[in-house]
Structure 1
Amino acid sequence: MGFEKAVMVRNSTACAMEWSIELEKALRPKNPGRRIEAIYQIGLRLEQWSGEPEGTMVVYDMFGLVPGEDRLFANTIFLRLADAFQLGNKRDVKSRALALVLFGCWADFAKDSAQIRYLVLSSLVSSNVLEVRASLFATGCFSELADDFSSVVLEMVVNIVTSSETESVVRLAAVRAFAKMGCTFSNANRAFKVS
């Protein structure tokens, strides 16, 4: 009975398409509270998903899935978040910051999307401290996985750290992002020249 019950429970990969559709519906309304709740909920679901073991052929067959669909579903979720981020109200900053944090948490999926990279980069120059801090978090996560990304943002991060106009909480977030960048000779040399 215990095994049968465990087998009947759908894993996150099997639920991801539904989650993506629910996210799209929740992001449509103009109600900022609902948008924030939806982004927070998808964050919890993605966290749950990341803690589950990789799907096996038995699991894929059981739920009628094709290997690799999990990546497709994850990419769809991130693109929905990116669209909501880009098209959303600039004054609804908390949802934008949450989306940036999710991009960072799931950098292994999100780092290859040019659209998401652009959103992270453009948020580094936002006038809102919360958005910049979230962007710096995502920047650090992307930089750990993609040397090309860290070489692109290096000068921006150095400028944030060295600017006298930067608030201390933002400067600290920038130092954390800088610490996650790979210390290649090229990056170290560029950082030295910029500072």
Structure 2
Amino acid sequence: MRISNIYGLVPGEDRLFANAVLLRLADAFKSGDKHTRLCILKPFLLETSQCKKYVGHLAKERFANYEQLLKRVKIVFDRGDVESRAITLCFLGCWSDFAKEIFEIATWSC
């Protein structure tokens, strides 16, 4: 069953709905503690591990505003301790399809 049918969305709004959910997850990742971040990271790791050449939910074409997602996650990397940085790097690994094209991320220093 499609998400648009479940939530009564107009066809085409399902992608906007998914982007809103991902932005909320990025906000929770930004403001949460270590346990919250790990809980948010786990489904992304499971989704990524299912297939190496993935063109599904985590593909660049699925995100309308991936720069906003990356900015919100980068805040955790900048202000976090070693564990927070490690979790953030794992998160970026899940989003490598679109994170690799952002120059600012390529120049992060640990």
TM normalised by structure 2 equals: 0.59
Q: How far has the Cα of 1:152 moved from its partner?
A: 1.6
Take 1:113 and 1:99, find their aligned partners in 2: how far apart are those partners? Answer: 18
Name the residue aligned to 1:132.
Answer: 88
One-letter amino acid of the counterpart of residue 75, structure 2: S
CA gap 1:142/1:123 in 2 versus in 1, 3 angstroms:
farther
Give the superposition deviation at 1:107.
4.0
**Deviation of the 1:72 alpha carbon:** 1.6
Q: Distance in 1 between matches of 2:71 and 2:64?
A: 10
* Structure 2: runs of 5 or more not aligned: 48-56
Q: Tell me if the contact between 2:74 and 2:88 (Cα under 8 Å) persists in the aligned partners.
A: no
Unmatched runs of 5 consecutive residues or more in structure 1: 1-9, 18-63, 161-195
More helix by share: 1
- Identify which of 59, 68, 89 aligns with 1:115: 68
Radius of gyration: which is bigger?
1
Q: How many residues align?
A: 96
Deviation (angstroms), 1:14: 2.0
Q: 1:72 to 1:132 in 2, by over 3 A?
A: closer
Structure 1: which amino acid aligns with 2:89? Answer: R
1:154 aligns with 2:101: no
2:26–2:73 CA contact under 8 A, matched in 1: no
Classify 1:86/1:114 alpha carbon distance in 2 versus 1 (closer, same or farther; 3 Å): same
- Tell me how far apart the structure 1 counterparts of residues 58 and 42 of structure 2 sit (CA, whole Å): 10
Counterpart contact for 2:30–2:75, Cα < 8 Å: no
1:12 aligns with 2:27: no
Could you tell me how far apart the structure 2 residues matched to 1:107 and 1:123 are?
A: 22
Distance 1:115 1:100 in 2: 17
Q: How large is the Cα RMSD of the aligned pairs? A: 3.2
What is aligned with 1:105? 58
Q: Percent identity?
A: 25
